[in-house]
Structure 1
Amino acid sequence: MPELPPLAIFAVGIVTVLGLMIGLKLHAFVALICAALVVSLLSPGDPADVVPRLTKALGESAGKIAVIIAMAAVIGRCMLDSGAADRIVQAMLRLFGPKRSSTALAASGFFLSAPVFFDTVFFLLAPLARSLYKQTHRDYLKYLMAICAGGVVTHTMVPPTPGPVAAAEELSVGFGMMMLVGSVIGVPMAVAGLAFTAWCNRRMPIAMRPFAGDDEPPETDEPATLPLPRLIPALLPVVLPVLMIATGALSSYLAKDADPASFAARSAPYGALVGNPSLALIASAAVALTLLVAMRRPTRRQVAELVEESLGSAAVIILITAAGGAFGAMLAAAGIGGVITQQLGDVSQLADKGELLLVMAFATASLLKFSQGSSTVAMTTTSALLAGALSDTGLAALPFHPVYLAAAIGAGSLVGSWMNDSGFWIYCKMGGLTEVESLKTWTPLLAIMGTVGLLTTLVAANVAPLQ
């Protein structure tokens, strides 16, 4: 069979996954695996590797998220049944008021996603959105999208998440500078996201639905006679993994250039252990279960049933999310990323054309995001490409600080998120939305926020070049 160009394989993959999922109404996991297999069949390489590379990518994707999703499902159910989620929602309503509860969720996502991956933050905050809907009986879609609006910003703009760290390192941007500028540019991005969230909620009012794999929404309304936990214990399942992961990130940063004999270097392995996301979520699940037992005194059988039901729901999400990652990996194996980067030409001649270079960095990251699904890969690839083409001399010739180039890349890595992005599936399935509803809400939300990020970067680079 003649070898197809990467762009043709990419087009076939898009048509396959959309046709199977939306046209034939196949289950998302089946549709994604079939589409990934088709792409793998058409990609270059030994025919004997077609299936093994698919299963390897599926296993690698599942390995990254299986424990996190499983433990997050347990945490969420325990927080709902113990009353912890209700206690946090009540505190939020007192602090911000019912009309600004979505702002509270967005702010929570914004701050928590800096040390923690967006996926983890969404798992932790989604139960709050569901509990908030139970109390207000309105604006469920707004609550879900608000978490996303806050969480995706710092995930792509602020270290220590891997994408911003890679961009800062490749472009010789200081860690602190990337955190400062990324946070400043991220604020209008989050505000724009909240504005679109409110508009979308008015156009598409959606009631809360079951998690994937559940028959009915979890029954979380507790009788008035049942007590709720205090606020600090209620917050602990959410705050503990954030603190643990932040500790690991800080430990790694301090040990980076430290003397091998120093305390920072010697303690780095222990920091990495404490900060492992899977371990952090396991510890959080243990705390959530302990809180449930302390508040509701369930029998051992009831606890076992709760955990089993939670893991059953999580299994569906794990399969779909892993299949989405495998689909993205097969598109990458087809060589689509190489085609995009080859078309950029000699960008070293653009060093004195700052605005054009920012737009090109944004567009490149967006194309890579759309083609293979990972914001981290899009940021890492684009920043490495530009760093190699510009070199230190070209970076020094920029009319603004290179941090703006990294910010444009981060903003671009949000645009083009669809069914090959694991974040799409986590939002879709954990939120109880359909694929079409997710395409109408998640995809344009991220595109709008990314575009606002580029515009803000262009303005900031001219007003405050930081040279």
Structure 2
Amino acid sequence: MVSLVQSFYWPFLVLLLSVALVALLISRWRFHPFIALVLAAVFVGLLTPGVVGDQGMMATLELPMTELGVMAGKIAWVIALAAIIGTAMMESGAASQIVSHLLKRLGEKQAALALMVAAFILSIPVFLDTVFFLLIPLGITLAAKTGKDYVLYVTAIGGGAAITHSIVPPTPGPLIMAETMGIDLGLVISAGLLLGILPAILVIFVGKKLNQKLSIPLRIAPPNAANVRKKLSLTSSLLPIILPILLIGSASLVEAITGKIPEWLGFLGNKNLAMGVGTGVALYLWAKARELESNQLWQKIGKPLEIGGLIILITSAGGAYGAMIGRSGIGEAIRLATENFHIHYVPLAWIIAAVLKTAQGSGTVAMISSAAIVSALIGNGPALPYHPVYLLMAMGFGSLFVSWMNDSAFWVVARMSGLTEKEALKTWTFLLAIISLTGMVQVWLLSWIIPLI
């Protein structure tokens, strides 16, 4: 047993056993993800000689909690504000205004494109399931009105939301990957938006093919439309999303061009301040559209903060698990195992994230854990011939493969759309697999063509 623990294979066994534990706790025994991930982090500590041997048994309990707190300190404010922005945009009618404008401009014939673009935009600050809840009633209404294209509308909404959810901060997965790998947030946002264009186009193409091949009836009645007292303009509706991106992106662009950044611009472009500005605008629009008094507005903020708090707990626990995986020596073990095969790190990063996603279901957990593994891998190896943002994007796309019964998003899409499990596998699961593979190939090619170093 001692020889096994000290062998080259031990970190792989630790990773395998911990992933199996997470998968069993969440998928089989229905543990809450927060509890499951903390337990997995402690489990990894118990199996890691460098933790127990150097610091004693108490470290297996204390280190995961410390890592949990460190990760929460990095992302709690941003995720909480993103939750407020998302709720404010829905309650103020800003989200509906964006969708309505796109439908008006593009017309009914391009309704699927309008829904996909709306989902793509809204999923930047808003969580995937919330975007789907928001937009699927529009898809149902359009399908009831036209009597066709329901599968196309479902795939357009789900695919558009899934792309930015996986590769564009401030959604939790991409945000934590950026923090873990030490990559500038503005660069990650810019790269995610650009690399999401081709998969977004593919969503419409695949959606049309599935719509032609599958005959799935509309099983859900169209909802009644909700009204706000004062409708917002399109410009106002977009501000909560555009302002943080502009502030963060401007600082990153200046730094990329000049190699340095003025202190005042760095202050304005800091993610914490930028998200605060976006939140302030979103709250103002919410109060204006609903004619809310100050005390009414602050009372309503409690609900999105509760939602954000839950996401922060799960994400921070995932960060603790990922950090403990990093301490297990898996990065060095993978590097040694692959150095004679000359495996490109982009597909390797994708495979790691894809395996973790398929095994335990959560794309966010897959991103967090794979980022810790890949960070350890590249930290112990030679300098990369391309920017590590490509590895981050590869892991983001890998976290979409495969979405099946152990993924909560699978059930959100299936239940809200009225799809059977078999139909959801043929549509949602298939679509995300195509997006995932296409995204990885795109990232791989661009890492050769435009290395960004």
Q: TM-score, normalised by structure 1?
A: 0.67
Note if 1:13 corresponds to 2:18. yes
Query: 1:332 maps to what in 2?
Result: 326
Aligned CA distance change for structure 1 residues 146 and 460 (closer, same or farther; 3 Å):
closer
Query: Which of 25, 31, 38 is equivalent to 1:33?
Result: 38
Cα drift, residue 232 of structure 1: 1.0
Aligned CA distance change for structure 1 residues 418 and 455 (closer, same or farther; 3 Å):
closer
Write the letter of the residue equivalent to 1:231: L
Give runs of aligned pairs for residues 5-404 of structure 1, distance below 5 A: 5-44=10-49, 45=51, 46=55, 47-97=57-107, 100=110, 103-104=113-114, 107=117, 121-123=124-126, 129-137=132-140, 139=153, 142-150=156-164, 152=166, 187-192=197-202, 221-223=225-227, 226-256=229-259, 265=261, 267=262, 269-346=263-340, 360-369=344-353, 373-374=367-368, 387-388=382-383
Aligned CA distance change for structure 1 residues 190 and 407 (closer, same or farther; 3 Å):
farther
Aligned CA distance change for structure 1 residues 58 and 292 (closer, same or farther; 3 Å):
same
Matches of 2:137 and 2:377, distance apart in 1 = 43
**Residue 78 of structure 1 contacts residue 288 of structure 1 at CA under 8 Å; is this kept in 2?**
yes
Cα RMSD, aligned residues only: 4.9
**Residue 332 of structure 2 contacts residue 376 of structure 2 at CA under 8 Å; is this kept in 1?**
no
**Residue 324 of structure 1 contacts residue 425 of structure 1 at CA under 8 Å; is this kept in 2?**
no
Note if 1:452 corresponds to 2:438. yes
Partner deviation per Cα, 1:55-74 (whole Å, 9 max, x = no partner):
12211222222112211221
Matches of 1:103 and 1:88, distance apart in 2 = 13
Partner deviation per Cα, 1:105-155 (whole Å, 9 max, x = no partner):
655787x7xxxxx9x814278765543333333656742431222564678
**Residue 330 of structure 2 contacts residue 373 of structure 2 at CA under 8 Å; is this kept in 1?**
no
Matches of 2:176 and 2:318, distance apart in 1 = 21
Matches of 1:132 and 1:105, distance apart in 2 = 7
Aligned CA distance change for structure 1 residues 311 and 274 (closer, same or farther; 3 Å):
same
Partner deviation per Cα, 1:233-281 (whole Å, 9 max, x = no partner):
111111111111112212322341x6xxxxxx5x1x2222211222212
Write the letter of the residue equivalent to 2:295: R
**Residue 206 of structure 2 contacts residue 431 of structure 2 at CA under 8 Å; is this kept in 1?**
yes
Matches of 1:149 and 1:31, distance apart in 2 = 26
Cα drift, residue 384 of structure 1: 6.2
Matches of 2:408 and 2:273, distance apart in 1 = 20
Query: 1:396 maps to what in 2?
Result: none
Matches of 1:31 and 1:161, distance apart in 2 = 19
Q: TM-score, normalised by structure 2?
A: 0.69
SS in 2 for 1:29: helix
**Residue 243 of structure 2 contacts residue 278 of structure 2 at CA under 8 Å; is this kept in 1?**
yes
Write the letter of the residue equivalent to 1:88: I
Q: Which runs of 5+ in 1 are unaligned?
A: 113-117, 170-174, 209-218, 259-264, 348-356, 391-401
**Residue 124 of structure 2 contacts residue 164 of structure 2 at CA under 8 Å; is this kept in 1?**
no
**Residue 17 of structure 1 contacts residue 35 of structure 1 at CA under 8 Å; is this kept in 2?**
yes
Query: Which of 373, 387, 399 is equivalent to 1:417?
Result: 399
**Residue 97 of structure 2 contacts residue 234 of structure 2 at CA under 8 Å; is this kept in 1?**
yes
Kindly tell me the number of residue pairs found equivalent between the two proteins: 396
Q: Give percent identity, aligned residues only.
A: 25
**Residue 107 of structure 1 contacts residue 150 of structure 1 at CA under 8 Å; is this kept in 2?**
no
SS in 2 for 1:121: coil
SS in 2 for 1:25: coil
